[in-house]
Chain A
Amino acid sequence: MQLARKFLYGGIVILLMAGALLLATSLHASAYQPGVLDELSSVEVPPAKLEPCLHCHIQGEHTNLWTPTSRWLVFGTLGLVFLFGFYQSASIWTQRKPFKPLTTRVADWVEERFQIAKPLNEILKKPVPSFARWWWYCLGGITFFLFVIQGTTGILLAFYYKPTAAEAYASIQFIENQVYFGAAIRAIHHWSANGMIVMAVAHMIRVYIMGAYKAPRELNWVSGVILFVLTLAFGFTGYLLPWDQRAFWASTVGTDIAGAVPAVGNLVLILLRDGWGVTEATLGRFFGLHVLVIPIATVVFMLLHFMMVRRLGVKRPL
């Protein structure tokens, strides 16, 4: 594909995405419902200045928060480009030799200090068999990508979520109705969670059918099954967090089942619920598991999983 055409398609995609974003923003603004917090808020919005002074106008102080930043970005970039062009021309003119590109300068600077080029090249250029580009080898990668999406949207949700019995429900309502793009973030988190389970199962079935779990990749399979259990644990702990009837009773029944295991059942039940019943303590425990313990364990096992894949390569199909 010609470069110009690539840019044309890229431009059209960016325009379409910008349009969709604009539409979504305006729809969100029109659907905004003023809530209790707006009235209780002690922050007073400063009144717009009707006749701004010149520097206020240039800095965009009478408009919104983003205006000065975006103006500095746009005009600052133009200024830097101009300065750089001037410097480049001047240096070519004075030194009478071709200008060394900035990227080369930066690469040289880094290389001089870290001497990373050789190992990095080895890592990046490692040969991969071309059969590993069939779509069914992508399933594990998709699971990982969905995990990244989950991490990102999960952090955004954690900014507003409150893991207490009194506030959990209301904080999710707040996320869905007031927070900018809150409903979108929650929808992505919800559906990516489902997608992650589907993709993990698909990946596991693929590995099973192709017999890729056999020597020397046994530990890769073990770590994979552990990751799958962790994914299910994500689903189970995350399901309680909205603290509605479905969540509460599904968790009650689910932990009851764990309690049915002979000998260790009651201990597991107490450890899961932080007490005999599902209470606020359970909510706190599930929240801690969901946002700290399970993610850290998942990242550790994913690193092991990937390092072993890297080391042992993809099993050659028959």
Chain B
Amino acid sequence: MKDRSSHEILPDDKPVPFFPDHAMTEVWVALGFLGLAIVVGVLGMFKHIGLGDPANPLDTPLHVKPEWYFLFLYQLLKVVPDYVFFGQIEGRVFITVAVIVGLIAWMFLPFFDKKDDTSKRPSWIRAALSALALIIIIALTIWGEVS
């Protein structure tokens, strides 16, 4: 059996030189995105990103929403009950701490999940987990957007 954790390049991998073969694929993709950026820029000249009303610390608007990528967290904070765990912990604090702890745990994932894959099965499980997490996040985001 091949050692799949190894980072050596085997003849099976049909290696190509980094430059120009590999680098050129990246360059073409980058050029595509540059074109996309130019299109966005030209469209942006017709429809400005724009500004809301100037900031006024004395006037709190009814609906404050963060950027879309923070919206699911914000929605989570909004819908969590005031107190969780039999009224022992404030819900808002619990979610905040849980997110921070979760992020740190996520960062150290490779130190928890050490076993090398020997089949495709773990990949499928991880794909299913990612899909589940994405669905939850997207659902929360949509909920936050419409509420």
Chain A contact residues, CB within 8 Å of chain B: 17, 20, 24, 27-28, 31, 123-133, 138, 141-142, 145-146, 149, 165, 169, 172-173, 176, 181, 183-188, 190-192, 194, 197, 205, 208-211, 213-218, 221-222, 225-226, 229, 232, 235-236, 239, 242-250, 252-254, 257-258, 260-262, 277-279, 311-313, 315-316, 318
| 13 CB < 8 A contacts A-B | A27-B46, A123-B18, A128-B22, A138-B25, A194-B68, A209-B123, A210-B123, A243-B54, A250-B65, A278-B57, A316-B4, A316-B10, A318-B120
Known: A132-B22, A245-B59, A260-B96. 5 other contacts (CB 8 A): A128-B9, A133-B25, A209-B127, A250-B66, A318-B117
The complex places the Cα of A185 from the Cα of B48 at a distance, in Å, of: 10
Closest to A252 in B: B64
8 A Cβ contacts from B1-60 to A: 4-10, 13-19, 21-23, 25-26, 29-30, 33-34, 37-38, 40-46, 48-57, 59-60
Chain B contact residues, CB within 8 Å of chain A: 4-10, 13-19, 21-23, 25-26, 29-30, 33-34, 37-38, 40-46, 48-57, 59-61, 64-70, 73-74, 77, 90, 92-93, 96-97, 100, 103, 106-111, 113-114, 116-117, 119-120, 122-123, 126-127, 130, 134
Rounded to whole Å, the gap between the CB of A107 and the closest CB of chain B is 16
Rounded to whole Å, the gap between the CB of A168 and the closest CB of chain B is 8
The A interface is mostly helix, strand or loop, or mixed, namely helix
Q: Is the CB of A169 within 8 A of B116?
A: no
Rounded to whole Å, the gap between the CB of B14 and the closest CB of chain A is 4
The complex places the Cα of A253 from the Cα of B71 at a distance, in Å, of: 12
The complex places the Cα of A245 from the Cα of B57 at a distance, in Å, of: 8
Rounded to whole Å, the gap between the CB of A8 and the closest CB of chain B is 18
Closest to A225 in B: B107
Rounded to whole Å, the gap between the CB of B63 and the closest CB of chain A is 9
The complex places the Cα of A128 from the Cα of B93 at a distance, in Å, of: 47
The complex places the Cα of A282 from the Cα of B100 at a distance, in Å, of: 23
The complex places the Cα of A279 from the Cα of B55 at a distance, in Å, of: 10
Q: Is the CB of B22 within 8 A of A133?
A: yes
Closest to B110 in A: A218
Q: Is the CB of A186 within 8 A of B49?
A: yes
Q: Which residues on the B side are within 8 Å of A210 (C-beta)?
A: 123
Q: Which residues on the A side are within 8 Å of B7 (C-beta)?
A: 216, 311-313, 315
Q: Is the CB of A215 within 8 A of B19?
A: no
Q: Is the CB of B44 within 8 A of A186?
A: yes
Q: Is the CB of A250 within 8 A of B67?
A: yes
Q: Which residues on the B side are within 8 Å of A318 (C-beta)?
A: 4, 117, 119-120, 123
Q: Which residues on the A side are within 8 Å of B16 (C-beta)?
A: 127-130, 133
Q: Which residues on the A side are within 8 Å of B73 (C-beta)?
A: 257
The complex places the Cα of A197 from the Cα of B67 at a distance, in Å, of: 11
Q: Is the CB of A146 within 8 A of B33?
A: yes
Q: Is the CB of B117 within 8 A of A128?
A: no
Q: Which residues on the B side are within 8 Å of A315 (C-beta)?
A: 7
Q: Which of A149, A183, A211 contacts B45 (CB 8 A)?
A: A183
The complex places the Cα of A194 from the Cα of B49 at a distance, in Å, of: 13
Q: Is the CB of B5 within 8 A of A215?
A: yes
Q: Which residues on the B side are within 8 Å of A252 (C-beta)?
A: 64
The complex places the Cα of A216 from the Cα of B16 at a distance, in Å, of: 23
Q: Is the CB of B64 within 8 A of A249?
A: yes
Q: Is the CB of A129 within 8 A of B77?
A: no
Q: Is the CB of B53 within 8 A of A244?
A: yes
Q: Which of B17, B53, B90, B103 contacts A127 (CB 8 A)?
A: B17
Rounded to whole Å, the gap between the CB of B17 and the closest CB of chain A is 5
Q: Which residues on the A side are within 8 Å of B108 (C-beta)?
A: 222
